[in-house]
């Protein structure tokens, strides 16, 4: 390994400016090392972005088995997706390859992987509990979540937000204004990054309950409980944001 990789890693880490909680406290501690190593390769930021789709759909496929271990491994794969999401931006900035096309590909990757995670968890829980309502809720939440994300992105794309700033900053102006403590609670529990990471945590709890303590999933259901909570918070946030957008622009 070239000695200069440590210098590059330090430069990349110093330039990090993540605002999302799970990126600040988890993915950034791994991403800068991977990014530094990739600067010595011909791998492009867009290729890293495409790897996000691979991690996302692998995670969704693992959850589709409907087993606690599947949710654990699927959640870990989704956490790797978050690391790849950090790496593509860091690599693009380091190599000077940031572009509108890269931003577009990043958004497409997020739409695809977020949808896959929601539907994958829904299919897995449906197979676990043999309850059709779980699958129907997953489909509904996927539609609501995607509509919410796309509608907020289009505000920027169509020029309705006249303020200065990049897409993420402008999109952030549509977030819900809530007390700081409740905002932190939402960030920890009900963002897409929270969903990715907490699926692994609750999958682990389910696996321990079943494999170590011999409990039945119908007595525990940590993953199911969390997914239903995420679903309710998704509907609430989307409703409030749509109302906010309607008042501001229509």
- How would DSSP label each residue in 16-30? ----SHHIIIIIHHH
pLDDT in tens, 64-73: 999 999 999 9
Q: What whole-number distance in Å separates Cα of residue 121 and Cα of residue 76?
A: 13
Superfamily holding 4-249? CDP-alcohol phosphotransferase transmembrane (TM) domain (1.20.120.1760)
Find, among 54, 48, 14, 18, the residue nearest to 34 by Cα: 48
Contact 33, 9 (CB under 8 A): yes
- 74-78, 125-129, 148-152, 229-233: which range is least confident on average? 148-152
Q: What is the pLDDT of residue 182?
A: 82
Q: How far apart are CA 221 and CA 229, in angstroms?
A: 12
Q: What is the pLDDT of residue 222?
A: 95
Residue spans of the domains in the chain: they are: 4-249
Whether 183 and 65 have beta carbons less than 8 Å apart is answered as no
Token pair 């682990």 is at which residue? 204
3-state secondary structure of 3: coil
Q: What pLDDT, on a 0 to 100 scale, did the predictor assign at position 154?
A: 80
Q: In angstroms, rounded to a whole number, what is the distance separating the alpha carbons of residues 230 and 195?
A: 7
pLDDT of 6 over the 70 cut: yes
- Give the model's pLDDT for residue 5: 84
Round the average pLDDT of the chain to a whole number and report it. Answer: 87
Write down the pLDDT at residue 172.
56
Examine the pLDDT at 183 and tell me if it is beyond 60: yes
Count of other CB atoms within 10 angstroms of residue 60: 24
At 130, list the tokens: 């043999």
Report residue 92 CA to chain centroid gap: 20
Where does the pLDDT of residue 218 fall: very low under 50, low under 70, confident under 90, or very high at 90 and above?
confident
Query: Is pLDDT of 225 > 80?
Result: yes
Which of the 8 DSSP states describes residue 216?
Answer: -
More confident residue, 52 or 177: 52
Q: How far apart are CA 93 and CA 172, in angstroms?
A: 21
């Amino acid at each position: 390994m070239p000695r200069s990789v440590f210098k590059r890693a330090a430069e990349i880490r110093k330039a990090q400016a993540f605002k999302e909680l799970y990126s600040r406290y988890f993915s950034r501690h791994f991403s800068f090392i991977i990014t530094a190593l990739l600067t010595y390769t011909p791998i492009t930021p867009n290729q890293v972005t495409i790897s996000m789709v691979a991690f996302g759909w692998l995670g969704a496929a693992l959850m589709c088995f409907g087993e606690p271990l599947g949710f654990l491994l699927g959640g870990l794969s989704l956490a790797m997706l978050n690391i790849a999401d950090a790496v593509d931006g860091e690599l693009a900035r380091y190599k000077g390859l940031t572009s509108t096309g890269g931003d577009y590909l990043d958004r497409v990757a997020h739409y695809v992987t977020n949808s896959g995670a929601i539907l994958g968890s829904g299919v897995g829980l449906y197979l676990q509990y043999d309850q059709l309502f779980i699958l129907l809720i997953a489909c509904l939440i996927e539609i609501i979540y995607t509509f919410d994300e796309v509608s907020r992105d289009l505000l920027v794309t169509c020029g309705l937000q006249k303020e200065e700033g990049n897409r993420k900053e402008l999109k952030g102006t549509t977030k819900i204004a809530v007390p700081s403590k409740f905002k932190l609670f939402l960030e920890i529990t009900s963002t897409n990054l929270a969903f990715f990471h907490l699926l692994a945590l609750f999958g682990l709890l389910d696996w321990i309950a079943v494999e170590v303590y011999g409990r039945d999933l119908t007595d525990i259901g940590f993953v199911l409980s969390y997914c239903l909570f995420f679903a309710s918070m998704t509907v609430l946030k989307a409703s409030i944001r749509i109302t906010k957008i309607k008042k501001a622009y229509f």
